[in-house]
């Protein structure tokens, strides 16, 4: 109960904080509009050249898949790595460790609170704009879409936070995690479908995207594919598997990292 109250307080406080800075929200919106928009225009052209179908997938499906990927990135869950690194390098970690909270959980709620406001605004407004321009794929009109989307969205958020937290905890040993962060982040981007939607992957790459934690952390992009109707259960199971494995790993790494704390001063 106490943890829920604290999580609520962190999230509401940060939403209040972010609401004061609408400039950043506009910047996020423009950034999504630019990055996603350019890709959507390019894909529209490619699909037009190919009579509207590539690898058996329609343009509407690909557009929504990319939109979900970019909108999910607005949550900035990946930034948890850099936040942890900043705490360790600046020594600010000591402030949280002197409070009656779990550093790990606190950072997770903090990261969710930091991104939830722009995420909600962008998914609602961006979704309305995309819907009014191109409509929605058939999968999104099915009854199972919303409940399975919510489950897979929660799974993707948890998995991303755990994955990037493990990268962040590396800072307890090596301080500068940027090279590791870069590798993991690029894996997530590629296998998550940032450059090329997963539906257009060659079969061996598709399998890697499906069974690796990097791809699993972006499974929301799969929810609009036609195959979602049949493989949603498999994908959610893969997510749960990785969440369990990586949570155990993150917990072990964190316990070891706690002993490595060495803050400035003294």
Partner 1 sequence: MKSESIIISNLSKKFTFPVKNKSNSWIKNLFKPEIREVVAVNNISFSVKSGERIAFIGPNGAGKSTTIKMLTGILYPTSGKASVLGLDPVKDRKKLAYQIGTVFGQRSQLLPNLPLTDSLEFFGVMYDMTEEQIQSRIIELTKLFELESFIDQPVRKLSLGQRMRAEVAASLIHKPKIILLDEPTIGLDVVAKKTLRDLLLKINKEEGTTIFLTSHDVGDIESLCDRTIIINHGIVIKDMPTEDLSTSFIFEKYIDLIPMTRFESFHELPEGMKYVLKGANKITITVDSNKISVQKSLKKLLEIFEVEDIDVYNADLETVIRHIYERN
* Site for partner 1, rule CB under 8 A: 2, 5-6, 9-10, 13, 16-17, 20-21, 90-95, 97-102, 258-259, 261-266
Instruction: Please return the burial class of 38, using the count of CB atoms within 10 Å of its CB with bins 0-12, 13-18 and 19+.
Output: exposed
CB of 98 to partner 1, least distance (A): 4
Measured from the CB atom, the residue of 143 and 266 that comes closer to partner 1 is 266
The residue (of 132 and 264) whose beta carbon lies closer to partner 1 is 264
Residue 9 CB, nearest approach to partner 1 (Å): 4
Closer residue to partner 1, CB minimum distance, 82 or 258: 258
Least distance to partner 1 from the beta carbon of 238, Å? 34
Closest to partner 1 by CB, 97 vs 205, is 97
**Residue number with CB closer to partner 1 (99 or 202):** 99
What is the spatial distance between Cα 182 and Cα 187, in angstroms, rounded to a whole number?
9
The torsion region of residue 72 among left (phi > 0), alpha (psi -120 to 50) and beta comes to: alpha
Shortest spacing between CB 259 and partner 1, in angstroms = 5
Residue number, 1 or 133, with CB nearest to partner 1? 1
Strand partners, 54: 57
- Pair 58, 137: CB distance under 8 Å: yes
Within 10 angstroms of residue 74's Cβ, the number of other Cβ atoms is 22
* Smallest distance from partner 1 to CB 32, Å: 23
Q: Please answer whether residues 235 and 210 qualify as being in contact, where contact means their C-beta atoms are separated by less than 8 angstroms.
A: yes
Residue closer to partner 1 (CB basis): 79 or 226: 79
- Alpha-carbon distance of 245 to 212, in angstroms, equals 12
Shortest Å distance, C-beta 71 to partner 1: 25
Q: Shortest distance, CB of residue 96 to partner 1, whole angstroms?
A: 9
DSSP codes joined into one string, 148-182: HHHHHHHHHHHHHHHHHHHHHHTHHHHS--HHHHH
User: DSSP class of residue 227?
Assistant: T
Region of 151 on the Ramachandran plot (φ > 0 left; ψ -120 to 50 alpha; else beta): alpha
């Amino acid at each position: 109960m106490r943890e829920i109250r604290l999580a609520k307080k962190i999230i509401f406080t940060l939403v209040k904080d972010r609401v004061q800075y609408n400039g950043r929200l506009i910047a996020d919106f423009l950034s999504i509009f630019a990055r996603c928009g350019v890709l959507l225009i390019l894909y529209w052209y490619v699909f037009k050249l190919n009579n509207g179908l590539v690898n058996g997938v329609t343009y509407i499906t690909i557009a929504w898949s990319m939109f979900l990927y970019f909108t999910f990135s607005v949550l900035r869950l990946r930034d948890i790595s850099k936040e942890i690194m900043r705490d360790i390098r600046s020594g600010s970690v000591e402030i949280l460790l002197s409070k009656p909270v779990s550093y790990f959980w606190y950072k997770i709620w903090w990261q969710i609170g930091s991104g939830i406001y722009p995420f909600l605004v962008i998914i609602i407004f961006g979704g309305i704009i995309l819907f009014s321009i191109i409509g929605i794929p058939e999968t999104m009109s099915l009854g199972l879409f919303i409940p399975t989307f919510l489950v897979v969205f929660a799974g993707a958020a948890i998995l991303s936070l755990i994955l990037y937290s493990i990268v962040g905890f590396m800072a307890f040993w090596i301080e500068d995690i940027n090279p590791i962060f870069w590798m993991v982040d690029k894996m997530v981007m590629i296998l998550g479908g940032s450059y090329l939607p997963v539906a257009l992957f060659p079969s061996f790459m598709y399998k890697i995207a499906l069974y690796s934690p990097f791809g699993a952390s972006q499974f929301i992009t799969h929810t609009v594919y036609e195959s979602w109707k049949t493989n949603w259960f498999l994908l959610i199971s893969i997510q749960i598997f990785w969440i369990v494995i990586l949570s155990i790993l993150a917990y072990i790494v964190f316990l070891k990292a706690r002993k490595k704390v060495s803050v400035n001063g003294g």
